[in-house]
Each structure stands twice: as C-alpha cells, then as structure tokens.
Chain A
Amino acid sequence: MEKQQTPFGFHKLIFILLILLSVSMSALGRDILSDIIELKIESHIASGGNFDSVTVELPNLTGKTLAKVIEYCKKHEESSEKTGELSEKWDGEFIGGVEVGMLMDLFLAGYELKIKGLNDLAASRIGGMMLGKTPEEIRVIFDIKEDPLCKKSKSPKEGERFARDNPWAFQ
C-alpha cells in the first residue's frame, strides 16, 4: 500500500532530482534541497527501510510554487557566483507581484526547505502588506472571515454583552 500521508512518492523524488539537475546541481540547490533529500534517504536506510519504497517528505508545493522556488535559488546562485553582490532589486521584483496565497506558499517552502533568504523575503513582503492597515483592511487582504462574534451588534445591549463576554476584542 502506498503511504498517503506523504505528498511525494519515489517517482516524485526522481522528478525533484531531475529539476535539481536542471539547476545544474547548483551550490544552493545541492546544499539545501538535495541535502534534505539525502538525509532523509540515509535515515530511511539506516532505520532498515527498503530503498525502493523510500518516500521523502517535502512541503506540499504546487508546481507553480516549486518553479518560483527554483527561480529564486537559480538567481541567487548566479549572483553569489559572480560577485556576491546584493540582488535586492531582483528580490523586490521577484516578490513584488506575487499574490497572498502564493506568498504564504513561498514562505512555507522557504521555512521547510530552510532557504532563509526566501523565507525572510516572503515574510517581510507579507508583513509589508499589514503595515499601516486597520484590522478590517487586514481581514480583506488575507481573506480572514470576520469572527462571527466580532460583528457589530445591532442593539447597544447586545454590544455590551459581547464586550463583557469577549474582553479580548476591546483591549
């Protein structure tokens, strides 16, 4: 039986490795992505597992997100090989047009694959979207359903009762 809880089976691993190869086994790719994969295979074999059935837990990335992650890694590999100069401008353009859902995915990918730069970049962009915003505006941006208890009550009495039962909303 196939394990259902892990998003990537062995054929997916091969797929990832192929992508990594296409990133020319980049320093960044090798250091980060494949290290994780190797470690997981090693620990799998060490614990007596069969190599045929190895599964690697990677964050549940969509192809689109993975492509973006690889684009990021590729660029940073290039710029660090050349001069090591800061690619802040590139980073800004890379993250600039990304919509919220994808930003969250990129943050998660950076977090789980331990690509600190990407993690920080996505986090600061997400944070930037909250700067100077009211709670209502933040709810809209992040598609957070207003807590039903939070809605403005029609009569003042209800409001009072709500305030009494939910002091957190008014502090």
Chain B
Amino acid sequence: MELPDLIMMDILSRLPAKSIFSCRRVCKSWRNILLDPHFAKLHLSRAPVDFLLKSEGTVFLAELDEESCISNSDVHLGRKSLMSCKTCNGINIGLKEIELCSSCEGMLCVRRSKRWSPYHVYNPITGEHVVVQQTVRASFMPIDCALGFSRRANEFKVMRFLVVTQSRTIVKGLEVDIQTVGSNSWRSIGETPYWPHLSSISSPFLNGALHWICYAAQMILSFDFDEEHFQPIPTPSQHFDNFYHTVGLGSLEGRLCMCYHKPHSTDPLDIWVMNNYGVKESWTKQFVIDKIIDAFPFQPIRYMNNGEILVLCGHHAAICYNPLRRSSRYIKFDSSKSTIFALPHIPSFIKLQK
C-alpha cells in the first residue's frame, strides 16, 4: 500500500510521541518522513498538551491516549503509559536539585537551584539542549525565570526576574532581563508595571504571551515575546484576594482561563473563560466543578476528545471534568515511592539549533 509522503506525513503527525518512535523503525521512507522538519512543525501544531512527570530521578512523558478518554473511571498513569524522556548530556534533569522552571511550545527550561547557575533550554523528547549562561548583576538576585517563544522571529527567549534585597527585605524590583536562546547576551526590559505572583511554571503561554496573576492589582500581567513588553489583561469582575482565594491561570483551545477557589472549604471551583482575548466583558463563568481535591493552583489544560476538560491540580494530580454529566474523575500519577511533580508540556520534535 503506497500513499504519497505528504499524506503519510499528515496521518503520522497525529500520533503520540511514543508511537512516532516506533514508526521511525518501520521502514526507511517512514523514517525520512518523520525526521523531516516539516513533520516536526505539523506534529507540534496538532500535538495536545500532555504532562511531564518528574519522579525518582527520571523524567517521563505521560500521554493521555484514547483509552484514557473512553474510560469513565479514574485513570492510573502507570509505567506502561509513560515514556522516559531523553537525558541530556549537559545536565541530569532527574536530579533532586534540578528545578523545572517553565515549559513552552515543546521546550523546557531547567536549572540547578543555585542562584546564578545557568539555565538549560531542553527538549525532553529529542534530548537536545542549549545552555543559557547567567551574567551576574551586582546586588541583584534572580528569583524566577520563564521560557517563551516569539513566533515572528521563530526564536525561544528566556526571561529572568530579579530583585535587590537588604536584610531579607526586597528594596528594589521587580526587574526583568531577557535573552534570545543562542544569542548569549542579556537585555534589560526594566521594571515590571505590576508585581505578579511568580510561579512561571504555571503561566499559560497563549497569543504569543505568558500570563501571571497579580493579586494586588487585581489583574493579569502578560508579556508579549514578539514585542517584548508587558501588558495588563483585565480579570473578571469577581473580586479575589490573596488571603481568601487562590487563583490559577490556564488555557482551553487558545482561550485564557482563570480558576477561583477557596482553599480548605467545600466551595466549588469556578472556571472563567475569556472568549475575546483582552476584552473584560467577554469573561464568562463556564464551568463550576464540585471540589474533589484541595490543591493549588488549578490549571485548565485542554479539552479531551470526549468533551471532558483536563485540569491539573497543583503538581501532583489532575482531574477530568465532564461538563454534560457534571462529574469528575481523577488522573492519578502512579508513584509508589516518591512524590511526583507534574507540569503541562507539549511533546515536540522541533530542533532548537537551526
């Protein structure tokens, strides 16, 4: 049975990463198709957001396949459904002291949890990685970093957040530097207009920008990686504050989502969706989920094939919520010994170095 390569590419680009590795060994013509850069692009444009799991010195990709969609009960992601990620030569990301900082468009930003240790931009599927060296800025201290992608320039960029502290109090900040991956030079973006809640590992990347929540300013701060500037995004009119609520950001089909929830209460979890990007009036409370787990933050990840929505709860569990039946089920990350750290990640075959 012979099909034109382009047609075969179309079919294969819909497969999960694990199957793609098997298909590479089927025959030479399939292999050529699968190693084509166009294939990597097509695959990335279709690949659903999955989870990366860090556990016991290893990093796994957990792909939620059709089976987990059909089932109505809890799903245990055991060893069988996990794929070990490629190790990279520069850094062993399974190690305890390695911090997973941020994931964007198939790439991961990791570092050793020392202040000025370099960042590594790394593709866990191919094992390719690029080192982003830090240059020390006197009296400053880096407190977080994030990875973003500029579609216009087709470049990945790492940003770092810096503060100046004196006797454990922050006296200056928050300043931001940015580096285009591969350029080896930091540029200053200046101070952020608002102070975001810094946990860039939970910042959704959509519309070319990363998003953080700002409790004090009651808004969302976005950073556009094409234009390299910050912009405020309005939040729903529902008030939230740091003491009574926890707020999580996520995205569903390219739309920004915001989850409200009161910890240690039986109140349901509200998921708001911004239907027109940047328009305050377009926020609608789309889902109300009876709470089945206390966690922070709740991050809507994607729609499943069966219409359920996938929500990451903290970094240790996830739920699938069925809006029609108003029922939820667990996605359990199987770990007998140690704790698992999960983050949303799109598997990608894109090459970092051109």
Contacts and interface: CB of A to CB of B under 8 A. Distances in A.
Contacts of A130: 15, 19, 22-23
Contact of B7 (A111, A133, A135): A111
Given A128-B66, A168-B31, A139 B19 contact: no
Contact of A108 (B3, B23, B66): B3
Interface residues of A, number: 31
Interface in B1-18: 1, 3, 7, 10-12, 14-16, 18
A143 B1 CA distance: 7
Interface in A77-134: 86, 88, 100-101, 104, 107-108, 111, 123-124, 126-128, 130-134
A123 B19 contact: no
A38 B15 CA distance: 36
Interface in B39-88: 65-66
Interface in B294-334: 306-307
Contact of B26 (A101, A111, A138): A138
A83 to B, nearest CB: 14
B354 interface: no
Contacts of A124: 14, 66
B23 A135 contact: yes
Contacts of A31: none
B28 interface: yes
B30 to A, nearest CB: 8
A104 B23 CA distance: 17
Contact of B1 (A132, A142, A171): A142
Contacts of B30: 144
A169 interface: yes
Given A101-B1, A143-B1, A127 B26 contact: no
11 contacts: A124-B66, A127-B19, A130-B19, A131-B65, A132-B18, A138-B22, A138-B26, A142-B26, A147-B28, A168-B31, A171-B24
